[in-house]
Amino acid sequence: MTVQEALAGVRELVPELKVAALVLVPDGFVLGHVGEGGILEHETLARVATGLFAGVEAPEPDGAADRVTEYFILLADRVMVLQRGRRQPGMVLCTMTSREPNLGLLLTTARDAIAWVESHVDPAVLDG
Amino acid sequence: MVDVAENLAPIWESVVAVLAWVDDLPEDATGELAFGDDGAVFVEDRRICWAAARPLVGRLSELLRQNAGMSPNEFRACYARCRADGHPIGQWLVEQGRLSPTLLRSTLLQHSVESLLLMCRSEPQPSWQPRARRGYSAHFTFYSVELLLASSAVRFAEQRVAAETVLASFGEPGELGAAFAPNDDGLGVIPIAALSPARHGVGDLLALGEWGASATQAARELGEEANLVVGMTQAEQAIAVWWHDGILFAVPCIDRRELAVVTARHLSLGA
């Protein structure tokens, strides 16, 4: 399955999806995208993903031994969820939705979405 | 009083270095961190008992005398007696009911902070000298983080009060929360409040602020200030960060339930 085909599946999984992009970190290379906006918007998502996952490493909250694998950013009328690949940590799925669905649902569906992408995208694309 | 109310940046690095150094001592470390002729910090069981700068000789006595409402002569007599008995004067004043434990604690903290800030003005290279324990009451000694926060409060007093009010409004799920203000040199953030200082090391608190500033900066790429940025591990331990009125808040949450409470409260407060 191509990246675009996998991202089309993400549209079905995540409610109220406005845009989704698959990004390589730390390079910030956009592997593919679906939804609203042009290349500049997708590059913006890539810069956010790079800033979060390749920037300052998160401290371990109260002794947690594992690393941050997901972020959500609450904006005035949108929510961005970033999911780092569990098997391919160099891959980040960024989804932007409206704020209508509740956060729990958005997180859960975004997790399903990264699992879907990881199981359908050939890891070889990560090597360029 | 050391005048850093306008700009803490030139000495902040030294303050952090000294307090982080104390934090890294073994748990039972007791001794004196000597700043040459400038003064010293006395540590017992890795807690700071006092810091005393040479130019501030007599300052603590004066603060204690004023707060205890004693005449200079009366105080001198008590001081001489305590000294002869090897008894800390502050604790003696509390035992005699001349000073409340809370007031003694805040007086000791104020004096130590003033001394520390003064000693940190001259790019100190302190040396550690192990000493015998003096038996200070733990209640009147301080975690390094307490001195760190009291030091930043000299510059950010108003922000600290505001930040503590916001953090307290989160109740138990926010007990690990901390707040930070931008450093005066524009580089990074300075911790200004933490509800549970005993649960933070100096390094941990600084790392929390650095990460919070970095995460919210990354989110600004989206063209607006985020209401909230949350990072979560696979074990669902999370840190929620946001800016409000020029203060950066960071609240670690131990699980998804705590995060849900913190998020909901944050949104309802508009904090």
The alpha carbon dihedral of A107, A111, A114, A117 has a sign of negative
Contact A71 B221 (CB under 8 A): no
Report chain A's mean pLDDT, rounded to a whole number.
89
Let me know if domain B156-269 sits in CATH 3.50.50.60. Answer: no
Kindly state the average pLDDT of the residues B9-21: 91
pLDDT digits (tens, 9 = 90+) for B125-179: 889 999 888 777 888 999 999 999 999 999 999 999 999 999 999 888 778 899 9
Predicted pLDDT at A128: 54
When CB atoms are compared, the residue of B219, B238, B267 closest to A61 is B238
CA distance B137 to B251: 31
| Chain A neighbors of B262, CB-CB under 8 A | none
Other Cβ atoms less than 10 A from the Cβ of B144: the count is 27
Q: How far apart are the first and last CA of chain A?
A: 16
Whose structure tokens read 């000693």? B119
More confident residue, B3 or A51: A51
The pair of structure tokens assigned to B214 is 């970095």
CATH number at residue A31: 3.30.450.30
Is the Cβ–Cβ distance between B93 and B104 less than 8 Å? yes
| Nearest by Cα to A105 from A81, A69, A86 | A81
pLDDT digits (tens, 9 = 90+) for A73-95: 999 999 999 999 999 999 999 99
Name the domain count of chain A: 1
When CB atoms are compared, the residue of A61, A69, A104 closest to B254 is A61
Range of the domain at A22: 3-127
Label residue A64 by pLDDT band (50, 70, 90): very low
Is the Cβ–Cβ distance between B265 and B238 less than 8 Å? no
Q: Which residues of B touch A (CB under 8 A)?
A: 176, 204, 207-208, 210-211, 214-215, 217-219, 221-224, 226-235, 237-239, 252-254, 260, 263, 267
Distance from the A34 Cα atom to the nearest Cα atom in chain B, whole angstroms = 17
Report chain B's mean pLDDT, rounded to a whole number.
91
Q: pTM score, two decimals? A: 0.91
Predicted pLDDT at B18: 95
